[in-house]
Amino acid sequence: MNDSVCSIGTVAVGNVRSDAPTVDDVVASGETSVTGDSTEEGGAIVDVYVNGIYRGWSTVRNNRFLVENLPPFFGGQEIWATVTNTPLSEYESERSPSVFVSVYSVCNDGLDNDNDTLVDFPADPGCDSALDNSKVDTDVPEYSDFQDNEPDGFTDFSDDLGC
């Protein structure tokens, strides 16, 4: 269809839009990546927006996407995404439902983010404080660090008699 009244340009009618993606709803302050689902075929492009500003992209693989190396998020930011399946000549999707960044750090969000069955500070040894945003345990004793520290061919207690 041609817009002859306002002279804005050609308007596409009848073309298919890609289906909107879904952003995973657990995003903590300090994180630098966004994950989610898409029903679009592999190779479709997902664009991520933070507070309405474009921040990065990735492709869909096995109906999932991961957009990494984004600026660290902080509590209250709004995150949403769109997807465009260019191999099928589809137009950009509607926005995904918005997800808001948690105001809680990963060491104070009530979740077992690192799947070690320990939840938050002080129970999780990877948390130095409730404000810590990493559950990586930096003070792992040599007898439980999965390394052959001697080196004697054995790793960790009870296989390594040096522990």
Tens of pLDDT, residue by residue, the chain (163 residues): 445 555 565 556 667 889 999 999 878 888 899 999 999 988 899 999 999 999 999 999 999 999 999 999 988 999 999 999 987 788 899 999 999 998 777 888 888 878 888 898 899 888 888 878 777 766 655 565 556 666 677 666 556 566 5
Q: Same domain, yes or no, for 160 and 139?
A: yes
Q: Same domain, yes or no, for 79 and 140?
A: no
The model carries a pTM of 0.62
Distance of alpha carbon 73 from alpha carbon 123, whole angstroms: 25
In a domain, 108, yes or no: no
Range of the domain at 124: 113-163
Please identify which residue in the block is written with the tokens 């999707």: 93
Q: Do 102 and 77 contact (CB within 8 A), yes or no? A: no
pLDDT of residue 94: 94
- Final residue of a structural domain among 75, 100, 125: 100
Q: Same domain, yes or no, for 95 and 143?
A: no
Q: Do 32 and 71 contact (CB within 8 A), yes or no? A: yes
pLDDT digit string, tens, across residues 59-72: 999 999 999 999 99
pLDDT of residue 29: 82
Q: Same domain, yes or no, for 82 and 129?
A: no
- Output b/e per residue, 86-101; b: 16+ Cβ within 10 A: eeeebeebeebeebeb
pLDDT of residue 88: 78
pLDDT of residue 19: 93
Q: Same domain, yes or no, for 129 and 92?
A: no
In a domain, 132, yes or no: yes
Q: Same domain, yes or no, for 70 and 132?
A: no
